[in-house]
Amino acid sequence: MNTKTYTAFAGDACIASGELTAMLLGVKACLDGGENRPVLVFEDQTGMQIDFNLRGTAEEVLANITMHPHFVSADTASARKEGPGRPKLGVVGREVSLLPRHWEWLNQQPSGASAAIRRLVDEARKRNAGKDGARQARDAAAKFMWTMAGNRPGFEEASRALYARDRERFDALTAAWPKDIREYLGRRVTEAERFEEKQTE
């Protein structure tokens, strides 16, 4: 299930934002209403720009999602191939390269190597949730900023302030940028700060 959110810009203006279906319907309504500026869609959690086929009716636009390469997960693709794992349960076999001492330790675990690896990954995810979330939010902001503001005054300095966690300087350097771009970046930076606060609790 796709729980990510997306934001669409036409030029410097935000025209739609939300979960995938709502965002696409918003974009389609804008285009049908006469919007003729180039539309760019960003995945909020990663900052990745994603292209969509927006031709045809709203129903056709939504139907195209099922064939979009970005939304065909690697797990789904792997499950179609014969091989180890239990894809019906969400367990997919993939190659993992480890040193002999790692395999030796894993082979000594009573629950087996696969279960031990899953447990270690889950523990690491919980332990580093704040740190990983903050990094991903800042990386997402940086990717968006590169696309939407890479040629704007203060871009390089703002990028440095973003990763230096200097919010005051970041806001000052982006103050003259278009409102919707500035506000979108502000939300991403605030999200990173919230993750960082959780990490220190």
Q: What is the pLDDT, as a whole number, of residue 200?
A: 60
Question: Which residues, in sequence order, are bridge partners of residue 2?
Answer: none
Contact of 3 with 41, CB cutoff 8 Å = no
CA distances from 121 to 45, 60, 127, 128, 133 (A): 21, 40, 10, 10, 16
For the cut 90, the answer to whether the pLDDT of residue 110 exceeds it is no
Region of poorest pLDDT, from 89-103, 132-146, 181-195: 89-103
Q: How many CB atoms lie within 10 A of CB 148?
A: 22
Give phi and psi for 5, each to the nearest 5. -120, 160
Q: Please indicate, yes or no, if residue 80 is contained in any of the structural domains.
A: no
Last residue of a domain, one of 24, 48, 71: 71
Q: Please indicate, yes or no, if residue 96 is contained in any of the structural domains.
A: no
User: What would the mean pLDDT of 14-20 be, rounded to a whole number?
Assistant: 97
Q: What is the pLDDT, as a whole number, of residue 127?
A: 57
Q: Please indicate, yes or no, if residue 95 is contained in any of the structural domains.
A: no
Please choose, from the candidates 67, 37, 35, the residue with its C-alpha nearest in 3D space to the C-alpha of residue 53. 67
Last residue of a domain, one of 50, 71, 92: 71
Q: What is the pLDDT, as a whole number, of residue 76?
A: 52
Number of H helices and E strands in the chain, helices first, is 9, 6
Last residue of a domain, one of 42, 71, 100: 71
Provide the residue range defining the domain that includes 152.
129-200
How large is the greatest C-alpha to C-alpha distance in the chain, in angstroms?
A: 65
Instruction: Give pTM, 2 decimals.
Output: 0.76
Q: Please indicate, yes or no, if residue 191 is contained in any of the structural domains.
A: yes
Average pLDDT, the chain: 87
Structural domains of the chain, count: 2
Q: Please indicate, yes or no, if residue 94 is contained in any of the structural domains.
A: no
Per-residue confidence band for 82, with pLDDT thresholds at 50, 70 and 90: low
What CA–CA distance (Å, rounded) separates 37 from 98?
50
User: What would the mean pLDDT of 50-54 be, rounded to a whole number?
Assistant: 95
pLDDT 10s digits, 151-198: 999 999 999 999 999 999 999 999 999 999 999 999 999 999 999 887
Q: Please indicate, yes or no, if residue 100 is contained in any of the structural domains.
A: no
Q: Please indicate, yes or no, if residue 79 is contained in any of the structural domains.
A: no
**In 115-171, which ranges are E strands?**
none
| % the chain with pLDDT above 90 | 62
What CA–CA distance (Å, rounded) separates 37 from 19?
22
